[in-house]
Amino acid sequence: MIESDAFVQALQDVGFDFFTGVPDSILGGIIETLMERRLYTPAVREDEAVAMAAGAYMAGKVPMVLMQNSGVGTSLNAIISLNVIYKQPCLLLISWRGFQGKDAPEHLVMGENMTQVLDSVKIPHRTISEQTLVDDLHWTAQTFMKERVPVALLLKKGIVKSLHP
Amino acid sequence: MRPEEGTMQSRARIIAALLEQLTDQPVIICNGFPSREAHKIADRATHFYMIGSMGTAAAIGLGVALNKPNKKVIVLDGDGNVLMGMGTLATVAALKPKNFVHVVLDNEVYGTTGNQPTISNVVRLEQVAKAAGYVNVERAIEREDAVYEFKAMLKKDGPSMLLVKVTEQCEDAGRVLIEPADMTQRFKKAIEQTS
């Protein structure tokens, strides 16, 4: 399992320097590390978070938004009618609740359709694994800079250490 | 509530009066007629006109303000927009950016879709901002009062909210024809010089 400290360091190493979002248990360790490093700006909704990321990008930052996949539903309009059409890139780190149907009922529909939802609005995405993390981040940074679009990395349970294993 | 006193102005007249007070400050303008009117009145590279993502103007402004702490960032917002993204009043109040000036042009209707009523005739949005923790909060009807309070807010530490009651009247202003992606780069470059 990847230590959250190493994960955050890897993000900083490829250039990310503005972090906002809404928590999820899978993201708990990462958010704690970001807070320890005084890098995290908490948002109250995911559409607010992606809009803050848009503002941060225009102010010269390289932004990242953390959210549970339920937040994709909440923020989809902002992502496609702001970040996508205005070409304001950000990295969406999305925790994949409901993966393979093993989760609470409220996560199952989005969990089952996660990649299809992103595909249908043409948001490039990858699913992080411990072995491919470095490659995934480089792919993210490249896509981000070249195409100036929001890019999603999906994070399943048990890949990065969370607060409650 | 007793009727408020004063002569209400059109939103375009208030926008014109406020933009006159500005030079190179970043300005985020919410979607719908406010953006079209502001673009017609005075188009500057430091203006960011929204066309979608209703409810997020203040969040975009917040993202700019947090990363350009030495420049006053102005958000020209509407009542429908503030109601839709009301949580952002709390986020702004919690983060307390001193350089954040939030102007709400309150006409009590969704103007772009045919003047359906919002609920801002009942809910006083500047009081919501005050309760959340905005540092300076003012409500104005007369144009001179709005300008006076706006100028004061440009000098004071915020976050500040100026709510101006305006009429439903819309200026005959066409859509903003700047390509969204071009607008992003234009705005980004224009505010690059400022720290």
Per DSSP, the residues of B39-100 read HHH---TTEEE--S-TT-HHHHHHHHHHH-TTS-EEEEEEHHHHHHTTHHHHHHHHH--TTE
Split at pLDDT 50, 70, 90, the class of B23 is: very high
Query: Taking CB atoms and an 8 Å cut-off, how many pairs form between chains A and B?
Result: 104
Name the region of B155 (left: φ>0; alpha: ψ -120 to 50; beta: rest): alpha
Mean pLDDT of chain A: 95
Check pLDDT > 90 for residue B122: yes
Whether B129 is in a domain gets the answer: yes
pLDDT at A162: 82
Q: Is the pLDDT of residue B2 over 70?
A: no
If you measure CA to CA, which chain B residue comes closest to A47? B56
Specify the pLDDT at position B194: 59
User: Average model confidence (pLDDT) for chain B?
Assistant: 95
Instruction: Say which CATH topology domain A4-155 has.
Output: Rossmann fold (3.40.50)
In this complex, the residue of B63, B94, B180 whose CB is nearest that of residue A56 is B63
Contacts of B65 in chain A (CB under 8 A): 55
Range of the domain at B61: 11-170
Residue B191 has pLDDT above 60, yes or no: yes
Decide if pLDDT at B1 tops 50. no
Residue B5 belongs to some domain of the structure? no
The residue extents of the domains of chain A are 4-155
pTM, 2 dp = 0.96
Residue among B28, B63, B184 minimizing CB distance to A87: B184
Query: Which stretch, A129-133, A145-149, B3-7, B103-107, has highest mean pLDDT?
Result: B103-107
Interacting residues of A34 by C-beta distance below 8 A, sequence separation 6+: A8, A19, A40
Q: How far is B127 from chain A (nearest CA, A)?
A: 20
Does residue B93 belong to any structural domain of this protein?
Answer: yes
- When pLDDT is averaged across residues B167-176 and rounded to a whole number, the result is 92
Torsion sign across C-alpha atoms A38, A44, A49, A52: negative
Residue B32 lies in a domain: yes
The number of domains in chain B is 1
CATH for B67: 3.40.50.970
Asked whether the predicted pLDDT for residue B3 surpasses 90, the reply is no
In a domain, B181, yes or no: no
